[in-house]
Amino acid sequence: MIKKWTSIFAFSVLLSNTVSVLAQGEPEEIKVEGDKFQDYFYESLFQKSIENYDKAVVALEQCSKLKPNEATIYFEMGKNYLAAKDYKNAYSSFEHATQINPNNKWFWEGMYDVCYETKDFNQAIVIINKMIPFDAEYREDLVSLYMLTKQYDKALVEINDLNDKVGKTERREMYKMEILSEGKFQNSEVSNLKALIDKNPKEESNYIALIFLYYDNNEEDKAVEIAKKLEKEIPESVWAQVSLFKNYLDKNDGSNAVKSMNMVLASPKIDFKIKHRMFNEFLLFSNANPQFTPDLDNAIGYFKNDKEINVAKEIGKFYHNKKQWEKAIKYYELSYKNNSEVDLETNLLWLQANTELKQFEPVLKKAMAMIDVYPAEPQFYYFVGMANNQLQFFKKAKDVLEMGLDYIVENKDLLINFNIQLGEAYSGLGDNAKKELYFNKANQLIKEKK
Residue range 43-59: mean pLDDT, rounded: 94
Q: What is the domain-level CATH number for residue 39?
A: 1.25.40.10
**Residue 307 vs residues 300, 313, 333, 335: alpha-carbon distances, Å:** 13, 13, 18, 13
Higher pLDDT, 232 or 339: 232
The answer to whether residue 142 sits within a structural domain is no
Q: What is the pLDDT of residue 5?
A: 36
Which residues span the domain enclosing 34?
Answer: 1-118
Confidence of residue 340 (pLDDT cuts 50, 70, 90): low
> Does residue 32 surpass a pLDDT of 70?
no
Residue range 213-231: mean pLDDT, rounded: 84
Confidence of residue 187 (pLDDT cuts 50, 70, 90): confident
Q: What is the pLDDT of residue 206?
A: 86
The answer to whether residue 152 sits within a structural domain is no
> Does residue 307 surpass a pLDDT of 80?
no
With H, G, I as helix, E, B as strand and everything else as coil, classify residue 324. coil
> Does residue 348 surpass a pLDDT of 70?
yes
Domain boundary among 83, 118, 153: 118
Domain boundary among 118, 151, 178: 118
The answer to whether residue 419 sits within a structural domain is yes
Most confident of 1-5, 28-32, 236-240: 236-240
Dihedral (CA of 441, 444, 449, 450) sign: positive
Of residues 137, 156, 138, the one with CA closest to residue 147: 156
Q: What pLDDT digit, counting tens, does each position of 123-163 carry? A: 999 999 999 999 999 999 999 999 999 998 899 889 988 98
> Does residue 4 surpass a pLDDT of 50?
no
Q: What is the pLDDT of residue 18?
A: 43
Side-chain half-sphere of 308: how many Cα atoms within 13 Å? 4
Confidence of residue 316 (pLDDT cuts 50, 70, 90): very high
The answer to whether residue 5 sits within a structural domain is yes
Q: Say if pTM beats, i.e. exceeds, 0.85.
A: no
Higher pLDDT, 12 or 418: 418
Which segment of 12-16, 36-40, 345-349 scores lowest on mean pLDDT? 12-16
> Does residue 23 surpass a pLDDT of 50?
no
Instruction: For residue 72, count other CB atoms closer than 10 A to its CB.
Output: 23
Domain boundary among 71, 98, 118: 118
Contact 44, 98 (CB under 8 A): no
Q: What is the pLDDT of residue 34?
A: 54
Residue range 329-353: mean pLDDT, rounded: 88
Tell me how many domains the chain contains: 2
The residue type of 168 is K
Q: What pLDDT digit, counting tens, does each position of 361-380 carry? A: 999 999 999 999 999 999 99
